[in-house]
Each structure stands twice: as structure tokens, then as C-alpha cells.
A and B are shown apart, each in its own frame.
Chain A
Amino acid sequence: MNAQKGHSLVETLWALFLGTIVLGALLGAVRHAQIFSSDLDLLLERDGNLWLLPVLLSQWMTPAGNMRSEGQWEGLSISENTVSARSDIDGASGFPDGDTSDRYENIALKCSGGSLRMRSGGGGFQPVSPAVVSLRPSWSGRILRLEITTATARPLWRRSAPSLQTVEVLYALPNYRPTLFEGGSEQ
């Protein structure tokens, strides 16, 4: 006798129907996994900036702000969302030479256009870190305090606004203090 091969129409339709349901469920699960992955990427990107910025800024701000307070320049100056640091820290001999023309002796930071921008020397402000929505500097004693807020590039799933995260960083400027006797720069 011949073995019966193939399937009946009803069996095929049932198989298609069940397959569609299974596929739909699978796609739904994949979609959620994608959403989770995408949100995680956004959060990691936002937080990654926050982790990196304090280290970067310590390399720039601490030397530029680390001057004696009675020097010829303004030293540290702070406005609403901008902080400037100016120190004579470097010259040909490696010690102060009487001007602030060398790299990283004159640094300004501000937040504008949704990013953190930096100016070194006399140039214009260049973007340093994206997705920084605010920079709030303050100064007390010999401690420079920077409050930095970053945001995700777009709102997370089912959120109407980008998610924010804030970090507060304190920088000690041990040289930013008066001297009893005049120092002056080494020429």
C-alpha cells in the first residue's frame, strides 16, 4: 500500500495559524528585548559621559585653577553656567613664566546647545561632551564644585522626556590661597 504523504488543507491552515501566533509572540519578545537594549544603550551613553567627565575635567581644571589667589589674573571666575580658570603654571623652565599663553593655562567651560563646551586659550568654545544639559559651578574656600547634569539622547520607552542624571564633583585647588609675602612669577 502507498504511505499517505503531505497534509490536509485543514492541517496546513492550523499549522499556519499556530505558526503565526508563535511568530507573533516571538516577535513581541524580540521587540521588548530590543527596547530594553536600546534603553540600556541610552542610559549607558548618558552615564558613561558622567563617569568620564570628572576625570577629564580634573586633568584640565585643577592645574588651570591651581594658582595663588593674588596673582595678576582673575584665577577662578564663575557665572551662572560658565566657569573660567586661569593660572600661570608653565613656562620654558617648567615653572610660571609671567603669562597664561600656554595650553591649559586658560580654560573656560560652559554648557550650551545641549553639550559641554570648552575653550582653551584664545580660541572658541569647542564641544567636549554631548548630552550635557546643565553645568552649575560654585566655589568655596579652595574647593571648586561642579554639578553636571546629562540626559539621554531621547526619551526612554514610555517616557515623555529624556532621563536626567546629575553628578557633583569637587576639585581641591591647594595652591589657590594667598601668601604672606609676595611671590611673583619666575622670569
Chain B
Amino acid sequence: MKPTLPNGPTAARRPDHASRLRGFVLIAALWLLVLMGLLGTLCYWTTLGIWRMERRVEGQLEARLWAENGIEYASSLLSTIDLNATLGGPDGIPCPGTRRNPASFQDAVQLAPGDWEASCDDGFPVTEGGASAGKAIHGARGRMAAIRFSNNSEEDPRRDQDRVVLVRSLGVAPRLTAAPETPEVRNSAFLIEARLRQERALEPSGAINILADEASLSWSGRAFSVDGADHAAIAAATWTGDSLPADLADSVAVSQIGSFQADQGLPLFMDFRLDLLSSPDRQRILSPGFWSHFRLRLPDFDRGLQGGLAFLSEPGDFSASFQGFLAVAGELRLKGDALVRGLLVHLGPGRVEMTDRARVEGAIWLTNAEEPQPGLHAEPVSFAMGDQAAVRFDAAAVREALSQLPATRLGWRILFPEMSDGGL
């Protein structure tokens, strides 16, 4: 047995081994802490990234909803705006180039909705009264939809003739989370384009407008009045393109001529078929499908006698007051103190009769298209007027009646930055 000294190697080894063991545990613990810290950080950043992605999708959806709202707003506004004044802008000074977007995508993701102003005013709606109708609709917490009208590419950018326009709606919603890598991107933006048509095809050319190959007109006494103001008293066109029916002018006795007034440069009875053919918009009423589609869809749009657009589908008497666009099918007798201020469109069949003190301030359309069927077959129009009944052309009433007709949506699409004319 080896003698061991109190301070020999064996005695000295034990304290070193213990201290090395303690040191190892410390390092292991530190490594464990670092590892857990890294795992925790990884978990945190992954969760944060997923959360940000989800919030951005939410922002995009919000922006899309606002863009769609903008299209609805533009569609409802289109019936009342002056197209050419809108295309030229409120100041009447054309902007350089063709502007379709309310704002570029690059501007849209950075703008502050409350402070936004367009760089050029072309395409922002102007009503027929000349007032600016507002470029945008604003919502809570910075949400916005901005709209801009432009002419379809088939026409001059600042002169519309066919009543077809494009409208672009830019929906903007603030980002719900900031992205540190792109601090200047504050908003989500979404752009939708729609092709709309303002409905003015039924713009009258006279106080009474007849679209038929044959007409049976009856005038009683001399107290009635047909005043075309600055238009013709009676404007007529045939489906077939033949000349105006002779029975139209022959129906008026010489003694009754004084009951008719018209613009000095116009005949009392005018053939307006050429007027229709020269207008890309108005010539549509000469097509077979126009009236059958219109008649088929009228019940869906009837808002009642208080709503500005009404459809009376049953024959009967009318002695009330109405303002707006009134479409009628079947026999109609305007009697008593009946007043129609706006447009009265009779689709036939049957006779229209105005007696007593019935008045129409605006204009009347008379056409006898039958129930929808292949092709269009027109029965003779029948109209009678007597007593103190009066029809007086009123441009303001006509304009207001036509503004009750909803715009027709011809197309709709989503635009992405690379599709939207470089952002202009």
C-alpha cells in the first residue's frame, strides 16, 4: 500500500473534479437558456408573421369591399351627372393625357385618406346642375372609396355620345399592422373598373312622341293644348322607315291647329327617325329587343307612385299626381285633375285618353309593342285628347324623369397594378 500524504495527489484530485463538474452544469444551463430563448423567439416571430399576413388579407378584403361600394355609388350617381361636364372636369380645363385611376397604386398605399386630393379634376362627377358631386366616399378610421369617370376608348376622351363610360373605384383601407420592412406602405388598395351606360335613349323630341307604323289620333274641341315649347308638338317615327303616316296630320282639323305650339323652326308634326338614327344611344329604341326587354324588367324596378319610377300594368283611370317616370301598359284614361310631371311612356296595347283638366308636364311616349316574343310587332297607337287636357314639354321635368332610370352595368373587372395604365 502506497503511503499517501495529506497533500498528496489523491487528496488534491477531489476538489478539482467537483469544481469542474459545477462548471459544466453552469455551462449546460446557460446553453439550455440560450436554446430556449432562441426557440421562444422563433415561435414569437413565426406567430407574428402569420398574424401580420392574416391582417393584411383582412385589409385587402376591406379595401375590396370599399372599392365595390364605390362602384355602387358611381352607378347610382351616373343617372344624375352631366357626362361631358364630368369628363372635362369642373374647371373645364382638360388634363394632359387620359386619366382613369382616381389615384395611382403607389399613391394609394401611402396617402392619408382625410387629406387626399386628386392632382387633376377630369372625370370627377359634375351634376347636371353644375355642382361637383364628390370624388370619394369616406368611412370611419380612414377607409375611403374614390371614383373617377372616363370615356370608353371608342370615343373622344372628353366628348361622349353613346352614354357609355368607364368608372374606376379605388378602395383604400388602412393597414391594421405596420410592416417594418416597408414603413411607407400604410394602406391596402384595391381597384375595380366598371363599364356603365347612362340611360337617356328615351329622351323625347317633342311633347308627344310616337313610335309606330300606324296611329289613330283623336282631338275633341279646341280647348286642349299640346305645347312643344322649344321642341316639336308631335314627333313621330315609324319602325319600317317609311314616311310619316298621313293620318297623323290629317287627324287635326284646321280649327284645332291653334291648340298646337312648337318651336318656331320646327314643324308641329315632325319625323324624328333621322334624329334617332344619328344618335348612337337613341337609335337603340329602334331595335327589336329594346322594348321587349324594357317591358319584361319593369316590374322589378317599379318603386310605386311615390318612388319616382312606377309601372301601371293594368288598364284603368288615373286622376292623381305623379312626378318622375311613369310606364303604363294597357288602356289609360287620364282624367280629373291628373298631373304627370315627367315622362309618361305608354307601351300598349290599348288607347290613351286625356280628358277634363288632365295635364302632362314633360313629354309622352306612345308605342304599341306587344308582349315579349321573337321579333317585334307594333299595333296601331291610339290616342285621344279633349276638354282642357294639356301636354306641355318641360325639359327640367324630362331630365328629372330620366334621372330615375338606373344606369346599366355593361362590364365589371378587378384591376391589378400592372393592368391599370401605369397607375394613371
- Residues of A that sit less than 8 Å from B by CB: 55, 63, 66, 68, 70, 89-90, 94-96, 174-175, 178-184, 186
Nearest 6 A-B pairs (CB), nearest first? Answer: A95-B411, A182-B293, A179-B408, A180-B301, A178-B297, A183-B410
Query: Would B412 and A179 count as touching, CB distance under 8 A?
Result: no
| CB atoms of A89 and B57 under 8 A apart | no
The answer to whether B410 and A186 touch across the interface, beta carbons within 8 angstroms, is: yes
Cβ B199 vs Cβ A89 within 8 A: no
- Interface readout for B284-298 with A: 1 if CB under 8 Å, 0 if not? 100001100110011
- B336 CB-CB contact with A under 8 Å: no
Q: What's the least CB distance linking B408 to chain A, in Å?
A: 5
Give CA–CA (A96, B412) in the complex, Å: 8
Offer 19 A-B interface pairs, CB within 8 angstroms, sorted by A. A55-B57, A68-B409, A89-B412, A89-B413, A90-B413, A94-B419, A95-B413, A96-B410, A174-B71, A179-B297, A180-B300, A181-B199, A181-B284, A181-B297, A182-B408, A183-B197, A183-B408, A183-B410, A186-B411
Q: Which residues of A contact B136 (CB under 8 A)?
A: none
Residue of A nearest to B414 (CB): A63
Q: What residues of A have a CB within 8 angstroms of the CB of B284 in the complex?
A: 181
With an 8 A cutoff between CB atoms, is B68 at the interface? Answer: yes
**CB proximity to A under 8 Å, residues B402-424:** 405-406, 408-414, 419
Supposing A66-B412, A90-B413 touch, asked if A181 and B293 sit within 8 A by C-beta, the answer is yes
Chain A residues with Cβ below 8 Å from B197 are: 181, 183
* A179 engages B290 (CB within 8 Å): no
B405 contacts A179, C-beta separation under 8 Å: no
Q: Which range holds the interface residue count of chain B?
A: 20 to 34
Task: Report yes or no: A179 in contact with B409, Cβ–Cβ below 8 A.
Answer: yes
Interface centre among B68, B71, B410 (most CB of A within 10 A): B410
- Known contacts A55-B57, A95-B195, A174-B72; A181/B412 CB under 8 A: no
Binary per-residue interface labels of chain B (101-114) against chain A in the complex, 1 for a CB within 8 Å, 0 otherwise: 00000000000000
A180:B409 contact, CB within 8 angstroms: no
Find out whether the CB atom of B419 lies under 8 angstroms from the CB atom of A181.
no
**Beta-carbon contact of A181 and B290 below 8 Å:** yes
Choice from B193, B195, B201 contacting A186 with Cβ under 8 Å? B195
| Chain A nearest CB, measured from B293 CB (Å) | 4
Which residues of B pack against A, CB within 8 Å?
Answer: 57, 68, 71-72, 193, 195, 197, 199, 201, 284, 289-290, 293-294, 297-298, 300-301, 405-406, 408-414, 419
CB distance from A112 to the nearest CB of B (A): 29
Q: Is the interface of A mostly helix, strand, loop or mixed?
A: loop
Q: Contacts of A175 on B, CB cut-off 8 Å? A: 409, 412
Known: A68-B409, A89-B412, A96-B410. 12 other contacts (CB 8 A): A94-B419, A95-B195, A95-B410, A95-B411, A175-B409, A180-B199, A180-B297, A180-B408, A181-B197, A181-B199, A182-B408, A186-B410
CB distance from B250 to the nearest CB of A (A): 35
Which residues from A are CB-within-8-Å of B409?
A: 68, 175, 179, 183
Contacts of B293 in A (CB 8 A): 70, 181-182
Which B residue sits closest to A88, measured CB to CB? B411
A88 to chain B, nearest CB (A): 9
A104 to B412 Cα, complex, angstroms: 15
Distance (Å) between the CB of A91 and the closest chain B CB?
9
| Smallest beta-carbon distance B192→chain A, Å | 10
Tell me which residues across on chain B come within 8 A of A182, comparing CB atoms.
289-290, 293-294, 408
Contacts of B71 in A (CB 8 A): 174
Contacts of A181 in B (CB 8 A): 197, 199, 201, 284, 290, 293-294, 297, 405, 408
Minimum distance in angstroms from A172 CB to a CB of chain B? 8
Which residues from chain A contact B410 at a C-beta distance below 8 Å?
95-96, 183-184, 186
Complex Cα distance A89/B68, Å? 16
CB distance from B151 to the nearest CB of A (A): 15
Nearest opposing residue in chain A for B415, CB measure = A94
Minimal beta-carbon separation of A76 from chain B (angstroms):
16
Q: In this complex, what residue of B is CB-closest to A97? A: B411
Residues on B with C-beta less than 8 A from A183 are 197, 408-410
What is the bound-complex CA distance between A92 and B28, given in angstroms?
A: 67
B-side contacts of A184, CB under 8 Å: 410
Min distance, Cβ B40 to any Cβ of chain A, angstroms: 20
CA A89 – CA B409 in complex, angstroms? 12
Chain B nearest CB from A123 CB (Å) reads 24
How distant is A148 from chain B, measured CB to nearest CB, in Å? Answer: 19
Which chain B positions have C-beta within 8 A of A63? 414
A108 shortest CB reach to chain B, Å: 22
Q: How far apart are A168's CB and chain B's nearest CB, in angstroms? A: 18
Bound-complex Cα distance A178 to B302 (A)? 13
CB of A75 to closest CB in B, whole Å? 14
CA distance A180 to B290 in the complex (A): 10
Considering residues B201, B284, B405, B413, which has the most beta carbons from chain A within 10 angstroms of its beta carbon? B413
